[in-house]
Amino acid sequence: MTTQTLHYTENTQSSNETTTLADIQARREERAYLDRCAMGDEKAIRWVMNRYRDRVVRLASHVLHTPKDAEDVAQEAFVKAFRLIGQFRGESGFYAWLYRIVINICLDRMRRKSATAEMSLEATFLPSICANTPDLDKCLAVEQILNTLSPPMRAALVLREVEGLDYHEISEVLQIPLGTVRSRLNTARDQFRKRWIAAQKEAEDV
């Protein structure tokens, strides 16, 4: 039994070490490509675009709700990112940095389309969670409850639960401390859960 336990422990440590080394190697590879992008290397630029293009288009589509505009935003975001690549210091993930560029471009487009509307990251970043969902009534109920949350709570919840960003990435995108991300998500989840239960109970009483 002791031998089996020891063997299992060694395999677990080896697996964790392999994963960690793979992550480090992947980050180093990306950093090398980004450095080459700063020097105008076209092969490196294509590598970065191929790696992130689908995610950038999806994000822009979520914000703008128009696929054609999303393609234009993606193109503009990459042009701006490569122009400013020297400002990326590598303290956070490249995608979080790129994410912020995409969001800002989307907001600029929305401001131009509606000059009198007051726009903010939190107020406008609410993707349509009902897309391609067969249970329309349920997803509409979810979206209605999301809309009752304050803009900061809603943005944090959507970035985490819909876009799948980790806490550090959310911190970078919303430009708030990591501790604030945690507390904001905890509060948002608690508020959402309570309002969801209340809405379901109200529906049952009708």
- What is the Cα–Cα distance from 158 to 146, expressed in whole angstroms? 9
For residues 83-111, give the mean pLDDT: 84
For residues 96-121, give the mean pLDDT: 73
Please give the full DSSP string across the chain, using - where no structure is assigned.
-HHHHHHHHHHHHHHHHHHHHHHHHHHHHHHHHHHHHHTT-HHHHHHHHHHHHHHHHHHHHHHH--HHHHHHHHHHHHHHHHHSGGG--SSS-HHHHHHHHHHHHHHHHHHHH-TTS---HHHH----TTTT-S-HHHHHHHHHHHHHS-HHHHHHHHHHHTS---HHHHHHHHT--HHHHHHHHHHHHHHHHHHHHHHHHHHHH-
For residues 114-130, give the mean pLDDT: 50
Q: Which fold has domain 120-206?
A: Arc Repressor Mutant, subunit A (1.10.10)
For residues 170-193, give the mean pLDDT: 92
Looking at residue 46, what is its pLDDT?
Answer: 96
pLDDT at residue 75 is higher than 80: yes
pLDDT at residue 138 is higher than 60: yes
CATH number 1.10.1740.10 given to 1-118: yes
- What is the Cα–Cα distance from 53 to 74, expressed in whole angstroms? 7
Domain map (residue ranges) of the chain:
1-118, 120-206
Considering only residues 154 and 190, tell me which one the structure prediction assigns the higher pLDDT.
190
Sign of CA dihedral 69, 94, 88, 86: negative
